[in-house]
Amino acid sequence: MKARAGVRTVAVAGVEFGWGSSGKLSAVLSALRDRGGGKLRFVGLASGLGRPVLAGQPVERWFDLPEGESGEELGRIVRAQRVQAALVVLDGRLAKALRACGVPVVFVDSLPFLWTDGDRPDLPLDADVYCAQRCVELPPEGAGVLADAPRLRWVDAVVADGGVTRRAAPTQRHRSALISLGGLRAPQLADWASYPRIVLPAALEALTASGVTAVHIAGNLPAWLAAQLVDSCLHPAVTTVGALPHEDFLRRLAECDVLLTSPGLTTLLEAGRLGTPTLCLPPQNLSQIFNGRSHSRALGVEVRVPWPTGVFAEDEALALRAHGEGKALDLIYGGITRAADLDRQRTATAVRAGLVEKLRHLAAGPGVDWTALTTEVGTDGAAQVADALVELLGATAPAR
């Protein structure tokens, strides 16, 4: 369907890496809707992994892009749909391809602290608006890369409120829990099931030992695998399992007593906005090492459970990033896969012990300001990105 008279068409896309980009797209689309976005029409590009998260958003149609797309199919979609601007989260290559098709782009970079010179080729530093999300600490390597973005705009954390707030202040007595595993799959990850095979039983057993009686498992986890892993640890408190539309996830996040999450940044920020007590499961990838450390630093208390050193050493992974993110990911993914194949029980036991200790500390220790991370970086990013897109459309001639 082509755009109606006076309606501007915006293409939206998020990187095929976890669910954080989809959560951010959802937040910005909600902010645009709050601004009376009736004159905007949205079409989605690629982002197959994140579409369940965006189920409640007004994306009229999704277009798959062939792997290794050269630009021909993208150009055809842009012309047929009369795309006048694009909102792209973290997918630098697609942002560049859209600009090559003549489409102005608002690019959202939620991981500016991650980049080194080795990542420059994949970043659309010349985007029409380059929105970098504020972070607790920006290493000099990342600052040097972003210095070459002429239209750089720093924005607060890009998170949605979903119309929900916590109904009561957090308590030290945990009865309900949310486990968030995120999107799990990533382009370089051969066996994406390795992570949940280790971490999910460990998390469930730790929650059982801590007296939790109701658990929801959120994540891109097939029902058969979830059932297998839940049955393996005889956890009777699992109430529901599966992917959730973004607003449903936020409601669960507001209602639970404690969140155990792989440290994706969007989830940590969403939990921080709500003040939900949060423990970080071992990291799935390079950015999650940074995320977990920044989260604990902002809180002033260590809430991470790292991998045993036999899986991989975090400092080694951080050092490898100087050669590009791919080198560090090879170390991380290789270590997790080997642990799942060769040493799963011992690794899961160590993770379980770490979680039990952290849960016990939360129950016995002084209160924590769980909003500290979002207090430091702000929470108005979705509105700020929405404003950038509206401004860009205002500067773009309407389609004939």
* Distances from the Cα of 364 to the Cα of 4, 173, 272, 304, 353, angstroms: 60, 9, 21, 17, 17
Instruction: Kindly report the backbone phi and psi dihedral angles of residue 206, in degrees, each rounded to the nearest multiple of 5, phi listed first.
Output: -65, -40
Q: Tell me, what's the pLDDT at 20?
A: 81
- Strand arrangement, sheet containing 214-218: 238-241, 214-218, 176-180, 258-261, 278-280
Q: What are residue 344's phi and psi, to 5 degrees?
A: -65, -45
Q: pTM of the full predicted structure?
A: 0.85
Mean pLDDT calculated for residue range 41-50 = 81
Q: Are 277 and 259 in contact (CB under 8 A)?
A: yes
- Around Cβ 363, how many Cβ atoms within 10 Å? 14
Say which DSSP state 3 is in. P
Summarize the confidence of residues 348-375 as an average pLDDT. 89
Please give the share of the chain, as a percent, with pLDDT higher than 70: 86
Q: Among 84-93, 96-105, 157-166, which stretch is predicted with the lowest mean pLDDT?
A: 157-166
Mean pLDDT of the chain: 86
Contacts of 89 (CB under 8 A, 6+ apart): 13, 14, 15, 21, 22, 24, 25, 107, 108, 110
Structure confidence at residue 400 as a pLDDT band (50, 70, 90): very low
Q: Where do we find the tokens 């929650």?
A: 207
> Average pLDDT, stretch 62-74?
80
Dihedral of the alpha carbons of 283, 277, 300, 157, in degrees to the nearest 10: 70
Lowest mean pLDDT among 193-207, 236-250, 253-267: 236-250
pLDDT band of 231, cuts 50, 70, 90 = low
DSSP assignment of 96-110, as one string?
A: HHHHHTT--EEEEES
Give me the pLDDT at residue 9, please. Answer: 94
Predicted local confidence at residue 4, as pLDDT: 60
Between 213 and 162, the more confident residue is 213
- 53/171: higher pLDDT: 53
Where residue 160 falls (left for φ over 0; alpha for ψ -120 to 50; beta otherwise) is beta
Residue among 175, 221, 226 nearest 201 (CA): 226
Average pLDDT on 79-100 reads: 95
pLDDT band at 188 (very low <50, low <70, confident <90, very high): low
170: which 2 tokens? 């957090």
Whether 89 shows a pLDDT value over 80: the answer reads yes
What pLDDT is stored for residue 325 in this prediction? 76
What are the residues whose beta carbons fall under 8 Å from the beta carbon of 366, sequence distance 6 or more?
none
- pLDDT bracket for residue 222 (50, 70, 90): confident
Distance CA 219, CA 182 (A): 5
Instruction: Kindly state the average pLDDT of the residues 285-291.
Output: 92
Average pLDDT over residues 88-109: 95
The yes-or-no verdict on residue 38 having pLDDT over 80 is no
pLDDT at residue 189, rounded to an integer: 63
Taking residues 303-326, what's their average pLDDT? 89
Closest CA to 156 of 130, 133, 137: 133
pLDDT over 50 at 275, yes or no: yes
